[in-house]
Amino acid sequence: MSSHALPGSDTDRIWTNWGGNQTCTAAVFARPRDETEVLAAVRHAIDRGLNVRVAGSGHSFTPVVPTGGMLLDLTRLTGVTGVTATDPQRLRATALAGTTVGDFGAPLWDAGLSLTNQGDIDKQVIAGAIATGTHGSGIDLPSFSAALRRVRLVDGHGEVVEIDEGDARRLHAAQVAIGSLGVMLEVELAVSPAYHLTEEISYRPWQQIVESWDELIAGHRHFSFFWCPADESADLYQLPAPPDQPMADHCYVKLYDEAEIDEPAGIVTTEGHRVDRAYRIYPGGFDTPFHEMEYMVPAEHGLEAVSAIRELMRTGHPDQRYPIEVRWTAADEAYLSPNHRLATTVISVSGAPGTDYWPFLRAVDERLREFRARPHWGKLHFMTRDRMAELFDEFDTFLDVRREFDPNGTFLNDHLRPLLG
């Protein structure tokens, strides 16, 4: 299907995500240059009965983007547009919705600020990272979604709307909405004073992680690890294990803690031990595509849940070689957040592109149901509307807000309509 032209539009656009498992050809594709063009595009879609989805950097593995209607690319709406650093109790950064996570680093640092936390990929567009509940690791550190304090968006009525801290009901819906309330234009995030991190990488047998579990969680700003089922597992995630390091039933462990240093003398770039500005420590690796599923379980059941998936891989699916990635995230109030009112242990598993990994992913899903696991909305999952109603206490509240913003389902696609329509 060929594309219709709009201001800032391309034609004959076929979109494919980073992992290569989602693709679409939209009836209309547009890359608006400013808020006025976004508004015009959405109104064009509403007038013609087209649904609208937004493509970020393509790091979601679920079909949250594909549409046969209108596809918007916001990569021209980028940049940190303002900071508030005078009040220690109200540190804020404002950015256009197409700004990548990595684009925050230097401008915030120059203002004496930093993102409070990041994951190990910084190429995501901030609007997409917020919409799907993207996060880093740390039992006391919330996701990007929880940091959202104000958002400006175009809703399903074709109007520009602002939601801020004075309207908690709508803000908690907007914090994790999977793009279903409208097209984000600008976001304001709570941020932190600029900080340096020290990174320590180690390789530890599984039993050592078990024995130090609580200490490692409580004792570090950021604790995360990859459990490897086989020696070749580390290479699948490009983890830099030394050639003589056994990895079968071992873990690649990352520990981050804040450091007080003077630049440039205090910066250390040794492999396995680095000290640097926080935004330069977080990102790394993951250039080779994989297909990932990620669920969050209550942190008090984390060890039991991770142990269960480890055993499932060893006994039921020994052909699966990707590591289990394990992280932690603080509780928040967003209605569709996997961390809604719960600090969680994050469990990620992956399958190799081009293979039938679905039996394995279904088995992981079944095994984690007893822990009331909730999904990362950008990662593969098996959620249904009934399951969501069981898992999310404020699901009906979210649906009410969603209908207010988008009564005709303009921002739903075939994936989201059965869940949120």
How many angstroms separate the CA atoms of 417 and 364, rounded? 25
5 in any annotated domain: no
**270 shares its domain with 368:** yes
Q: What rounded mean pLDDT belongs to the chain?
A: 95
42-98 pLDDT per residue, tens: 999 999 999 999 998 999 999 999 999 999 999 999 999 999 998 888 999 999 999
Amino acid 13: pLDDT: 73
SS3 state at 73: strand
Residue range 345-357: mean pLDDT, rounded = 97
**236 shares its domain with 91:** no
Task: Give the count of beta carbons closer than 10 Å to the beta carbon of residue 358.
Answer: 12
**315 shares its domain with 263:** yes
Residue range 384-389: mean pLDDT, rounded = 98
How many angstroms separate the CA atoms of 305 and 323, rounded? 15
Amino acid 284: pLDDT: 81
Give me the percent of the chain exceeding a pLDDT of 90: 93
Amino acid 86: pLDDT: 86
Amino acid 89: pLDDT: 87
Amino acid 80: pLDDT: 98
418 in any annotated domain: no
**283 shares its domain with 256:** yes
Amino acid 1: pLDDT: 27
Does the pLDDT value for residue 142 go beyond 70?
yes
* β-sheet with 92-96: strand ranges across: 80-84, 92-96, 183-190, 148-154, 160-164
Tokens linked to 367: 């095994």
Total domains, the chain: 3
**120 shares its domain with 99:** yes
How would DSSP label each residue in 344-409? Answer: EEEEEEEE-TTS--HHHHHHHHHHHGGGT-EE-TTSB----HHHHHHH-TTHHHHHHHHHHH-TT-
402 in any annotated domain: no
Which amino acid appears at position 241 of this protein?
A
**128 shares its domain with 262:** no
Amino acid 3: pLDDT: 38
Give me the percent of the chain exceeding a pLDDT of 70: 97
Element (H, E) at 295: strand 291-298
245 in any annotated domain: yes
**205 shares its domain with 283:** yes
Does the pLDDT value for residue 12 go beyond 70?
no
Residue range 224-239: mean pLDDT, rounded = 96
**98 shares its domain with 65:** no
What 3 state SS string does 181-206 have?
Answer: CCEEEEEEEECEECCEEEEEEEEEEH
Amino acid 241: pLDDT: 92
Residue labelled with tokens 């950015």: 95
224 forms beta bridges with: 254
How many angstroms separate the CA atoms of 277 and 269, rounded? 11
What's the domain range around 94?
80-193
Pairing of strands 196-205, 250-259: antiparallel
Does the pLDDT value for residue 9 go beyond 80?
no
pLDDT band at 8 (very low <50, low <70, confident <90, very high): very low
**258 shares its domain with 368:** yes
Q: Is 252 exposed, middle or buried (0-12, 13-18, 19+ CB in 10 A)?
A: buried
What 3 state SS string does 235-256 have?
Answer: HHCCCCCCCCCCCCCEEEEEEE
8 in any annotated domain: no
Amino acid 191: pLDDT: 98
pLDDT band at 240 (very low <50, low <70, confident <90, very high): very high
**100 shares its domain with 183:** yes
Q: Rg of the chain's alpha carbons, rounded to an integer?
A: 21
249 in any annotated domain: yes
Tokens linked to 21: 């498992």
Q: Which of 73, 91, 109 is the last residue of a domain?
A: 73
Does the pLDDT value for residue 6 go beyond 60?
no
How would DSSP label each residue in 76-130? Answer: TS--EEEEE-S-TT--EEEEETT-BGGGGHHHHHHTTEE-S---S---SBHHHHH
**58 shares its domain with 86:** no
pLDDT band at 182 (very low <50, low <70, confident <90, very high): very high
Tokens linked to 342: 């719960």
Q: Which of 193, 226, 253 is the last residue of a domain?
A: 193
82-137 pLDDT per residue, tens: 999 988 889 999 999 999 999 999 999 999 999 999 999 999 999 999 999 999 99
Task: Give the count of beta carbons closer than 10 Å to the beta carbon of residue 168.
Answer: 11
